[in-house]
């Protein structure tokens, strides 16, 4: 189950390593197309993960998990064979459907398989895998891309997915089902609202926040979310009971996970290009270059529960946001002359924050739902993660591209990617400088946003406890 989590989360990060070779490939994607190649998977993943969790609760978690692994393999194979950007996006969307079925049901299977006394540790381990998955995607993607083209990345993912399907079919236990209705209408409203919101967020920087597409997307999302709330309040067995969000700790935990993954995947999006273009790393070295981020997760993850017991949940989360935001701001000071050791030290700082945040926030969300809705609860966690991931990629992609375009030398003006700019100019060093300037600006915006959101999360939690 942990390997399945690493696969579906790692795929979000691994594709970022493939951005430079994709930009230079025969598909000739534009800068917005590159963002969509990354975000299509994340958007579909985020929008379907709660319905997929509910489907596991209703029809059997093992069966839905195996179906998801099969769809994931089919989507990655389609991506590997894609002759153009449109087919690649279709493959990414199908892969996202499979990932949505895998992630929530992996934890639901684990919670069914372990005794009640081990559930807290199981949740902490599973949550740590979502952090390790991002780094594993970078390392594994680097290994594969070193050996071949970007198409090999998708082929390897398909093979891993099929192998995990065989193992899950053999070893995963069959859990009980419930006979409550699945709530197809509620699921449709929630999915439609999520799609509209994420499309508006992703298109906002490109089309303009006041454009018809973006304003219409936000308005559609508001209407559909409102309809979903009313439908949930009237339903005897809602897909996800809106009344749960009366709990301020649940609200703040969802916002907290969104903010942490916003920061993490914004970093992943620029990290690969920064290490390759600015530092001159090869693809494998680039994948390994993110490893310091995971050192605190591996070494410190098992001890977060004891730390939280000593200093309290709010203090733990406050420290988490301080480390993540501070690490991103530290990374924003890097340039082509910054020693990798300094860069790695800031990665460790951010990794400490991720280590503190994931188990603490995941435990709050998991504890808000009864065991019979374990799949929905895990789906809620995954949705907040993927919303944050999609938003992080969209925001840093837009900020860094705008700053990059403004800083390009005159003979490279009009280029949208580093690869395109390098083919136009006789001053490649200036192109790299422009890229670093854009990446640093994006990381500064992301770091400040994480700190502000962290203050909101801790403030709401503290205020609600004081009122109680």
Which CATH number characterizes residue 392's domain? 1.20.1250.20
Do 255 and 322 fall within a single domain?
Answer: yes
- The total domain count for the chain is 2
For residues 183 and 82, the model is more confident at 82
Do 359 and 222 fall within a single domain?
Answer: no
Do 63 and 205 fall within a single domain?
Answer: no
- Model confidence pLDDT, tens digit, residues 228-243: 888 888 877 776 778 8
Please give the average per-residue pLDDT across 259-288, as a whole number: 85
**pLDDT, position 329:** 96
**pLDDT, position 131:** 67
Binned at pLDDT 50, 70 and 90, residue 397 comes out as confident
Do 188 and 169 fall within a single domain?
Answer: no
**pLDDT, position 114:** 83
Do 232 and 257 fall within a single domain?
Answer: no
User: Which range, 16-20, 54-58, 445-449, is most confident?
Assistant: 445-449
Whether the per-residue pLDDT at 157 is higher than 90: the answer is yes
User: Which of 223, 238, 253 corresponds to the end of one domain?
Assistant: 238
Do 152 and 200 fall within a single domain?
Answer: no
DSSP annotation of 417 reads S
Do 221 and 293 fall within a single domain?
Answer: no
Do 98 and 202 fall within a single domain?
Answer: no
Angle at the Cα of 436 from the Cα atoms of 435 and 438, rounded to 5 degrees: 65
Binned at pLDDT 50, 70 and 90, residue 349 comes out as very high
Please give the average per-residue pLDDT across 138-167, as a whole number: 89
Do 372 and 458 fall within a single domain?
Answer: yes
Whether the per-residue pLDDT at 434 is higher than 80: the answer is yes
Do 208 and 107 fall within a single domain?
Answer: no
Q: What is the mean pLDDT of the chain?
A: 84
Do 264 and 286 fall within a single domain?
Answer: yes
The range of the structural domain enclosing residue 176 comes to 2-182+239-467
Q: Considering only the C-alpha atoms of the chain, give the largest distance between any 2 of them, rounded to a whole number of Å.
A: 67
Whether the per-residue pLDDT at 312 is higher than 90: the answer is no
User: Which of 215, 238, 261 corresponds to the end of one domain?
Assistant: 238
Please give the average per-residue pLDDT across 278-306, as a whole number: 81
Please give the average per-residue pLDDT across 27-40, as a whole number: 80
For residues 7 and 202, the model is more confident at 7
**pLDDT, position 72:** 97
CA-based nearest residue to 375, from 12, 63, 7: 63
User: Which of 238, 260, 285 corresponds to the end of one domain?
Assistant: 238
| Distance in angstroms (rounded) separating the CA atoms of residues 208 and 314 | 37
Q: What percent of the chain has pLDDT over 70?
A: 94
In angstroms, the Cα distances linking 379 to 164, 344, 376 are 20, 33, 5
| Distance in angstroms (rounded) separating the CA atoms of residues 460 and 296 | 27
**pLDDT, position 133:** 81
Do 444 and 389 fall within a single domain?
Answer: yes
Whether the per-residue pLDDT at 444 is higher than 90: the answer is yes
Whether the per-residue pLDDT at 210 is higher than 90: the answer is no
């Amino acid at each position: 189950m942990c390997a399945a989590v690493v696969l579906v989360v790692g795929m979000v990060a691994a594709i970022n390593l493939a951005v430079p070779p994709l930009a230079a490939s025969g598909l000739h994607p534009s800068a917005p197309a590159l963002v969509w190649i990354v975000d299509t998977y994340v958007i579909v993943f985020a929008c379907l993960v709660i319905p997929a969790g509910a489907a596991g609760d209703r029809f059997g978690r093992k069966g839905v998990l195996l179906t998801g692994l099969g769809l994931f393999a089919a989507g990655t194979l389609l991506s590997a064979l894609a002759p153009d950007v449109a087919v690649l996006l279709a493959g990414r969307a199908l892969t996202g459907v499979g990932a949505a079925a895998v992630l929530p049901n992996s934890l639901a299977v684990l919670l069914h398989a372990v005794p009640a006394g081990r559930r807290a540790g199981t949740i902490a381990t599973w949550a740590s895998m979502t952090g390790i998955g991002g780094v594993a995607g970078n390392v594994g993607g680097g290994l594969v891309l070193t050996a071949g083209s970007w198409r090999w990345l998708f082929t390897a993912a398909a093979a891993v997915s099929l192998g995990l399907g065989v193992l899950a079919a053999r070893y995963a236990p069959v859990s009980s089902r419930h006979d409550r209705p699945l709530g197809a209408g509620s699921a449709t409203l929630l999915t439609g609202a999520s799609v509209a919101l994420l499309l508006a967020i992703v298109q906002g920087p490109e089309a303009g926040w006041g454009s018809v597409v973006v304003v219409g997307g936000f308005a559609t999302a508001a209407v559909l979310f409102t309809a979903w709330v009313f439908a949930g309040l009237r339903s005897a067995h809602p897909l996800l009971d809106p009344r749960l969000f009366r709990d301020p700790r649940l609200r703040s935990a969802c916002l907290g996970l969104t903010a942490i993954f916003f920061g993490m995947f914004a970093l992943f999006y620029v990290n690969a290009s920064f290490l390759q273009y600015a530092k001159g790393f090869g693809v494998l070295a680039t994948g390994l270059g993110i490893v310091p981020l995971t050192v605190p997760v591996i070494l410190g993850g098992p001890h977060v529960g004891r730390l939280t017991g000593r200093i309290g949940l709010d203090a733990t989360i406050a420290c988490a946001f301080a480390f993540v935001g501070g690490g991103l701001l530290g990374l924003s000071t890097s340039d082509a002359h910054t020693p990798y050791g300094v860069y790695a030290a800031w990665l460790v700082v951010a990794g400490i924050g991720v280590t503190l945040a994931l188990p603490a926030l995941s435990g709050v969300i998991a504890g808000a739902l009864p065991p019979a809705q374990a799949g929905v609860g895990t789906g809620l966690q995954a949705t907040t993660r993927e919303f944050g991931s999609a938003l992080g990629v969209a925001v840093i992609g837009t900020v860094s591209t705008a700053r990059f375009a403004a800083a390009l030398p005159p003979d490279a003006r009009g280029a949208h990617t580093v690869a395109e700019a390098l083919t136009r100019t006789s001053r490649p060093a200036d192109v790299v400088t422009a890229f670093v300037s854009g990446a640093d600006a994006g990381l500064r915006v992301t770091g400040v946003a994480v700190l502000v959101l962290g203050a909101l999360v801790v403030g709401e939690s503290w205020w609600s406890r004081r009122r109680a």
